[in-house]
Amino acid sequence: MATAPITSPLPADAQETVGRVLQEAVADLTDLSLIGKQAH
């Protein structure tokens, strides 16, 4: 079963910016989760 590639309407530079911001958000949320586990 072949799947179609995922395309984005965003230009490449915007994709890189969004990717960087999302990666930072995931890191922040992971840090908060670990802090919450330590506090509990």
- Looking at the chain, list the stretches that DSSP marks H as alpha helix, in order from N- to C-terminal side: 12-39
| C-alpha dist (Å) from residue 35 to 23, 27, 30 | 18, 12, 9
pLDDT at 23: 98
Band of pLDDT at residue 39, cut at 50, 70 and 90: confident
pLDDT at 38 over 80: yes
Please, are residues 8 and 15 in contact by the beta-carbon 8 Å criterion? yes
CA 33 to chain centroid, in Å, comes to 16
pLDDT at 9: 94
Residue 27 tokens, joined: 């890191």
Residue 19 tokens, joined: 């990717």
pLDDT at 40 over 80: no
Read off the pLDDT of residues 1-31 as tens digits, 9 standing for 90 and up: 789 998 999 999 999 999 999 999 999 999 9
